[in-house]
């Protein structure tokens, strides 16, 4: 295992090498030279390698959870202080299951390179997963961080092989999906059977689609989790999948004993002792 501590850059643009950058790295007493191609053609080859190997290439978006009534003031803060603007919005009519609901505003920076959906709980028949998060996190915080890959199938095969645990999706999700895709304007290039085996979700509109999957919480508490996403001409966040995601999360929430029945008065009051 090389610790990649650079001993020094031995070749590069400054030494007249237009094509190759070389760094010497050291492991104990052994040194070795790493060559990296720096021409655009080789960047293209690196892109192809990322595709083949299912690399996680960049942070696609970061979602924050806020307590009830804080979503608007917090998104206003991003717009006023950091010159963010609203990117896309969804209301709790679109995102709810029978029991639990949320509202969401997406803010983005001027260049639209940073995307941050901000959630707050909405009243449902039972406790919102956003409220569960707030209670266990002791306040607002990051709900999930999403990593973008050009090849989600390989990425998830790799992550599962290393022991990463993902939320499960019922098989009837894929039955419904197959039925709906028959009349859709887009075609999903990936093999649906493979997506189903790996429990990867699909969301789409008339112009493109996205593939996504959510991990289980990365700590013992039901707080932060990760998402992996692959986009094909689609800039949404998977609103169409949120119902099935909610149902999957709520199955776990119920198993933890936190899918508590709420009245309007008790929304927002922590029920759990921890």
Interface residues toward Co ion, by CB under 5 A: 146, 227, 237
Strands (E), the chain: 5-11, 20-27, 30-37, 58-65, 85-90, 101-108, 115-122, 141-148, 201-204, 209-214, 225-232
Q: For Co ion, which is the closer residue by CB, 146 or 244?
A: 146
| Contact partners, residue 67, CB within 8 Å, separation at least 6 | 120, 121, 131, 134, 139, 140, 268
Query: With respect to Co ion, which residue has the nearer C-beta, 155 or 262?
Result: 155
The residue (of 237 and 246) whose beta carbon lies closer to Co ion is 237
Closest of 139, 136, 163, 146 to residue 245, by C-alpha: 146
Q: To the nearest whole angstrom, how small is the minimum distance from the Cβ of residue 236 to Co ion? A: 10
Q: How many CB atoms lie within 10 A of CB 273?
A: 4
Nearer CB in complex with Co ion: 101/242: 242
What is the C-alpha separation between 109 and 86, in angstroms, rounded? 9
| Cα 246 versus chain centre, distance | 15
For residue 13, what is the DSSP state? G
State the nearest-atom distance from the C-beta of 14 to Co ion, in Å.
41
Distance CA 45, CA 27 (A): 28
Nearer to Co ion, 23 or 133 (CB): 133
Nearest distance, CB of residue 266 and Co ion, angstroms: 28
Nearer to Co ion, 118 or 262 (CB): 118
CB of 120 to Co ion, least distance (A): 16
Cα 255 from Cα 269, distance rounded (Å): 20
């Amino acid at each position: 295992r090389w610790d990649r501590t650079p001993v020094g850059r031995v070749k590069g643009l400054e030494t007249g090498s237009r094509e190759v950058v070389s760094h010497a790295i050291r492991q104990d007493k052994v040194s070795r030279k790493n060559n990296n191609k720096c021409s655009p053609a080789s960047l293209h080859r690196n892109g192809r390698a990322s595709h083949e190997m299912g690399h996680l290439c960049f942070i696609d978006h970061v979602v924050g959870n806020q307590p009830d009534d804080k979503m608007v003031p917090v998104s206003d803060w991003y717009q006023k202080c950091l010159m963010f603007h609203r990117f896309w919005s969804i209301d709790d009519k679109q995102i709810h299951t029978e029991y639990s609901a949320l509202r969401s505003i997406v803010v983005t920076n001027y260049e639209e390179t940073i995307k941050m959906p901000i959630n707050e709980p909405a009243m449902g028949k039972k406790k919102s997963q956003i409220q569960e998060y707030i209670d266990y996190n002791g306040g607002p915080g990051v709900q999930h961080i999403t990593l973008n890959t050009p090849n989600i199938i390989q990425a998830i095969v790799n992550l599962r092989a290393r022991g990463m645990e993902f939320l499960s999706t019922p098989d009837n999700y894929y039955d419904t999906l197959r039925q709906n895709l028959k009349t859709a304007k887009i075609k999903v290039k990936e093999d649906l059977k493979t997506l189903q085996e790996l429990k990867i979700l699909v969301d789409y509109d008339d112009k493109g689609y996205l593939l996504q999957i959510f991990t289980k919480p990365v700590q013992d508490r039901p707080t932060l989790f990760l998402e992996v996403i692959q986009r094909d001409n689609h800039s949404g966040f998977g609103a169409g999948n949120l119902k099935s995601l909610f149902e999957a999360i709520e199955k776990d929430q119920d198993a933890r004993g936190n899918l508590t029945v709420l009245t309007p008065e008790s929304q927002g009051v922590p029920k759990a002792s921890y």
